[in-house]
């Protein structure tokens, strides 16, 4: 497992029932599958690695209730049991929306990558990745998904202008647009600003060349992505009050479940101590 793992990505077309479903924050769009991949190497059931993976995935869900990005390193008794992971939410999501998306990704990845040592899953609103070889802080410009919409018959000047403005903007999460085109770009939070700029320049350049004149375009690289859509709609996560309310309820449910687990652990520890004393 010490060798570098290569992910076999299972790619599907993005759901595009409307051209701007990519950027809106309804329940269906935030949780929608974009791409996923698994390492080739497997771990054994009931092994220390499986225990560490369960601990990591729990940490991702817990952290997403208060932070839109975090990374973790889980140490093991042997080198083979070490595990690295991270999650990141789209920059416009509220914390309840982020927590809901990460919880969905964490619950889905075991079905996508059963007993695989490494896995990655990109939903519309969030991204999670874990591996037994460290990838944290490492730039990755491998193309994992490239999708262009149907032609619009329009020239690509507006799209190119919006994407150029995104490339020149600062920050890990960037949005921009005109009356005709809206765009969004984001880097994974473990990259430096220099690495982020290099990754986004690659993604945006490829998007310009490969999706010019298209109704929408998506370019996902290993550690960043750039997207655009031609429409007059705005991609504002706060505009959908109904789905926001549902996410608040889901967020509260997650908090309640976490609290219940914590109470159960405390109770079991208390019972164990009592029986331990009685056995002396």
Q: Residues 15-39: pLDDT tens digits?
A: 222 223 344 333 348 999 999 999 9
Final residue before a domain boundary, out of 131, 165, 195: 131
Looking at residue 72, what is its pLDDT? Answer: 97
**Which residue matches tokens 């037994």?**
132
CATH number where 124 lies: 3.30.430.20
Which tokens sit at 255? 């908090």
Which residues constitute the domain of residue 98?
8-131
DSSP label at 151?
Answer: B
Same domain, 113 and 161: no
Residue at 278 is within a domain:
no
What are φ and ψ of residue 111, in 5° steps? -75, -35
Mean pLDDT of 28-57: 93
* Residue 274 in this model has a pLDDT that exceeds 80: no
Note the pLDDT tens digit of each residue in 91-146.
999 999 999 999 999 999 999 999 999 999 999 999 999 999 999 999 999 999 99
Note the pLDDT tens digit of each residue in 239-270.
332 333 334 334 444 445 555 555 655 656 65
Same domain, 98 and 30: yes
Looking at residue 129, what is its pLDDT? Answer: 98
Residue at 273 is within a domain:
no
Number of domains in the chain: 2
Note the pLDDT tens digit of each residue in 163-194.
999 998 889 999 988 878 899 999 999 999 99
Final residue before a domain boundary, out of 131, 156, 181: 131
Note the pLDDT tens digit of each residue in 196-236.
999 999 999 999 999 988 999 999 999 999 999 987 433 33
Confidence band, pLDDT 50/70/90 cuts, at residue 273: low
* Residue 11 in this model has a pLDDT that exceeds 50: no
Looking at residue 25, what is its pLDDT? Answer: 35
What are φ and ψ of residue 167, in 5° steps? -65, -30
* Residue 44 in this model has a pLDDT that exceeds 90: yes
Give dist(CA 72, CA 256) in Å, integer. Answer: 23
Where do runs of H (alpha helix) occur along 4-156? 27-30, 48-63, 95-112
* Residue 45 in this model has a pLDDT that exceeds 90: yes
Which tokens sit at 130? 């874990």
């Amino acid at each position: 497992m010490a060798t570098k793992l290569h992910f076999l990505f299972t790619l599907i077309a993005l759901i595009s029932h409307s051209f701007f479903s990519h950027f809106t924050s309804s329940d269906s769009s935030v949780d929608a599958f974009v791409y996923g991949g698994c390492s080739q190497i497997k771990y054994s059931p009931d092994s220390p690695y499986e225990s560490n993976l369960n601990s990591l995935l729990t940490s991702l869900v817990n952290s997403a209730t208060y932070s839109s990005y975090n990374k973790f390193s889980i140490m093991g008794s042997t080198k083979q049991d070490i595990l690295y992971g991270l999650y990141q939410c789209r920059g416009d999501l509220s914390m309840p929306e982020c927590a809901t998306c990460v919880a969905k990704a964490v619950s889905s990845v075991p079905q996508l990558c059963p007993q695989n040592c490494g896995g990655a899953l990109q939903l519309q609103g969030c991204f999670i990745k874990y591996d037994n070889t460290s990838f944290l802080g490492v730039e990755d410009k491998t193309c994992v998904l490239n999708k262009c919409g149907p032609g619009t018959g329009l020239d690509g000047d507006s799209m190119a202008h919006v994407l150029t403005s995104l490339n020149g903007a600062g920050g890990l999460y960037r949005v921009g647009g005109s009356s005709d085109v809206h765009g969004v770009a984001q880097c994974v939070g473990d990259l430096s600003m220099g690495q982020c700029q290099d990754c986004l320049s690659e993604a945006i350049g490829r998007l310009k060349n490969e999706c010019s004149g298209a109704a929408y375009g998506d370019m996902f690289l290993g550690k960043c992505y750039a997207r655009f859509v031609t429409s007059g709609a705005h991609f504002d996560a706060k505009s959908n009050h109904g789905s926001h309310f549902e996410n608040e309820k889901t967020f509260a449910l997650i908090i309640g479940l976490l609290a219940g687990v914590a109470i159960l652990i405390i109770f079991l520890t208390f019972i164990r101590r009592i029986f331990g004393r009685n056995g002396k």
